[in-house]
Amino acid sequence: MSNCREQIKNLAYSVNDGLAAYITIHDKIFKEAATFKSFLKNIFGRAVPMSQLLQDAETLIPLWNGIAEKIALFGCDANSSMDEDERYYFEILSRYAQAVNETIVALVERQRLLNERSKGGHDNPVNWKIYQDTEKTYQSAIQKYMAIGQELNNAGHLVF
């Protein structure tokens, strides 16, 4: 097995670990803020503060910046060493990581808006339209990374 193939596998495992971290935080946010149970918790003052959910989402940014840096460095160093299959898989992996990163940026922006909205006040700049636009961006980002993820899964046999 070539050294490039082994490094690509390691990058894929890093991306998978980063995806697992994102999914854990995504699920926590939606469990705490988007269910009837969370609505009841809000009424009785037992909800997780929006600021905490924002902080949780923000923890993903340095994680994914690190993953993006590893991918970029490998791509620069190994581009000429990869065979055709490795290059094809790596290109999809790179696009996938970028799409997940965009999803995380959209999630953080969504949580920032919700955090601002939770502060209340009649002069609060966050309105329903702004939130809907941000939610739409987030949902589109999810669809994009999932579509590329399917492409990545279909190409997995090339390096695994």
Count helices and strands in the chain by DSSP H and E runs: 6, 0
* Residue 137, pLDDT above cutoff 50: yes
How does residue 38 score in pLDDT terms, banded at 50, 70 and 90?
very low
> Which residue carries 């490039």 as its tokens?
4
Residue ranges of the domains in the chain? 3-158
pLDDT, one tens digit per residue, over 56-72 is 999 999 999 999 999 99
Domain 3-158 architecture: Up-down Bundle (1.20)
| Euclidean distance between CA atoms 81 and 32, whole angstroms | 47
Model pTM above 0.85: yes
pLDDT, one tens digit per residue, over 19-36 is 999 999 999 998 887 654
